Structure 1
């Protein structure tokens, strides 16, 4: 049996590290943390007690060819504190998004892509659940 403690990190493939770092630092507002000197390019970010690892791999099989905002695709979901502020921030930065408000999940959700098409969800408990 495997006894779980928590998710430690999620890794995402990217093709252009500078473009990805700009997005994760300036759009998602994540703090970069030290990364060991691997023989490949990448960046690590802290989010609570977990991490997001960006790994440069232009031939990654996980890069999505279709960048539709389809919540059935694999995605990274981040819990947020203020839905309206997050939505306004995305609009201000010209990020294309799709909302699912008061959905069956119980979360109000905003979906959008990073520059490489990695699907990201921001969510908060919906009004009907609060």
Structure 2
């Protein structure tokens, strides 16, 4: 939690950007999407919402306040920190945020791991990934 507060503080420190951030989604790596979806729908009574990938490996659920739970099926749930498990914040001015990262030398990458690059999802949302000091992944996107 101390490290997450560091990232949030870092995000809000710049005098050039005083945009509020909000939680966009929480991504969870699951071994079996069907089984996990059944749990979240039937046990937790979450409402499934549209998901942009349409590949049978993702499911999205409304968790209120504009936030979503994003289930991602992938083999072998990892023992190490994985980019699939990440916290996502949406930025009102992502270009200014990226400029500040470049100015300060704070590393970021796209989904495949190419340093200094931006991913554009199938729905047009742009995203980058950064790591906190403990290596936990945070997605920053422009779906504000």
Point out the structure with the larger helix share: 2
Judging by fraction of residues, say which structure has more strand: 1
Q: Into which bin does the TM-score normalised by the smaller protein fall?
A: 0.3 to 0.5
